Amino acid sequence: MSSAPPSSSIFDDVDVSTFPTSNASLSDHARYEHPLVQRYATREMSAILSPAMKFTTWRKLWLALASSQRELGIDISEEQLNQMKDTLYDVDFDRADAYERRFRHDVMGHVHAYGDVAPLAMPILHLGATSCYVGDNADIIVMREALTLIRTKLVKTLDALSKFADRYKDVPTLGFTHYQPAQLTTIGKRSTLWMHDLLLDYVRVCREIDDLAMRGAKGTTGTQASFLELFDGDHGRVKRLDEMVCEKMGFVDAMSGRAKCVAVCGQTYTRKVDYFVLSALSGIAQSAYKMCGDVRLLANLKEVEEPFEDDQVGSSAMPYKRNPMRSERVCSLSRYVMSLPATAAHTHANQWFERTLDDSAIRRIVIPESFLAVDVILNLLMNIGDGMVVWEKVVERHVMEELPFMATEVILMECVKAGGDRQELHEAIRVHSMAAGAVVKGQGKSNDLLERIAADPLFGAVHDRLHALIDPRLFVGRAKEQTREFLEEEIMPILEKEKEALGKAIVDGVNV
């Protein structure tokens, strides 16, 4: 027997039409807004992924196709090309949408919208091409532009972190393994671990940019049959058309000077390319999550804090809190980005023969969202790296709480050198260590191991230099030198090579 539903609910009237029209603000916000765009994304990445970028790129591709066809002997006039050039940015989106609703086809909608403002060119627009000529080639172009912006922000992040690493390269801190105190390192050395991950991401992104090739002018199923018909069976001109389009759109190998066109394709370029790109973005998200996870743990220890504004509120209920909200946001967005390569893998695997359309909707979502999220992540990393605060006295206190245990081997060896019995000394240190540990854990008091050793005549040989033996700087190995070498040999050459990118201003920041 089922129970009757409640007679009324506060949700019964959730319908846009029920919102009061007198409240214009409420009415304007009565539709879902994507938080990546509305809350987080920068204007620069949003512009790269925008409809304006997409559809003006379509027009540039049509112009590249038509101008190349004219150069190869097709009857296309200079007037037709000039009209196309003059109206590249004259996009009537409402008219294109109306055409799309009429034809149920986005490419044909924009062909007709372009033809309306360039009527002389209408007869030769999209000549011999398939929808993927503009769709796929534009996607590759947009991804290259977005990856280039990501590369710039990776460089800026490495620059901010390099300054932090250099500043703290010789400040000892507890190392942690299993999140338990371990051999000392330095704050700067630890930050090089974050940088090394991001350095690998930089190399991967550079490779993806270099490897990207256009689909080119390959025809409906990749055989170029329509273009072969257009050029009366002249294979040479068809091959050259493919190359010329790619060259006009800036896809040329820097070393060989040859056009960067995919060698073969079906109707689309292989969707494995999307998987490679999303994997590179996932790599950045992984590195960011690791770094910010460390920052969050260090914030709990009160050793490190991310930037905190004067009027920033850490908690609505607990005004004293200084939550690591930037790092938490990085981890939140990174978790999403890391999940997306699997979607791209399934999309590629499920492309039957020359093409199926089940790739379309998902790609419209996951590719832009990956770039938008990583763009935000890197802006946050730049902000954290540039303004991270280290509370050195807290770091030092934590070091000194654990260092006596770590220094026992040095103390033992020095006493043996002075003629002591190694086994007797070892047993004495073990007993003192257990007692000191019981004081720390059982009574909540400070570590008194050094006091116990100082009071034991067995260790008389080192009593006058006991504190010198536990100088934290003696226990960090080559951390300082490793940090300096890493910065000089690995990071500085990249920063030097990318001076132009470092000089670029961020168009607008992220809501940090």
Asked if 184 and 399 count as a contact pair (C-beta separation under 8 A), the reply is yes
Distances (CA, A) of 222 to 183, 233, 258, 355: 59, 16, 20, 10
Classified as helix, coil or strand, 441 is helix
Q: Which of 133, 130, 127 is nearest to 214 (CA)?
A: 133
Q: How far is CA 386 from the centre of its chain?
A: 17
Size of the chain, expressed as the number of residues it contains: 512
Q: Which of 69, 176, 57 is nearest to 127 (CA)?
A: 69
Count the neighbouring beta carbons within 10 Å of the beta carbon of residue 326: 23
Instruction: Using only the alpha carbons of the chain, give its radius of gyration.
Output: 32
Q: Is the dihedral of CA 8, 10, 15, 17 positive or negative?
A: positive
Return all residues near 157 (Cβ < 8 A) that are at least 6 apart. Answer: 198, 378, 381, 382, 385
DSSP state of 256: T
Tokens of 194: 């974050």
* Phi-psi map region of 446: left, alpha, beta (phi>0 left; psi -120 to 50 alpha): beta
DSSP state of 5: P
Asked if 500 and 208 count as a contact pair (C-beta separation under 8 A), the reply is no
Classified as helix, coil or strand, 21 is coil
The DSSP code sequence of 95-110 is HHHHHHHHHT-HHHHH
Return all residues near 400 (Cβ < 8 A) that are at least 6 apart. Answer: 447, 472
Q: Which of 27, 77, 315, 339 is catalytic?
A: 315
Distances (CA, A) of 101 to 89, 95, 107: 22, 10, 11
* Phi-psi map region of 302: left, alpha, beta (phi>0 left; psi -120 to 50 alpha): left
Clarify whether 346 is annotated catalytic.
no
Distances (CA, A) of 392 to 33, 384, 445: 43, 18, 21
**C-alpha span between 105 and 108 (Å, rounded):** 6
Asked if 388 and 166 count as a contact pair (C-beta separation under 8 A), the reply is no
Q: Which of 178, 256, 316, 467 is catalytic?
A: 178
Clarify whether 327 is annotated catalytic.
no
Tokens of 98: 């109306």
Catalytic residue list: 178, 315
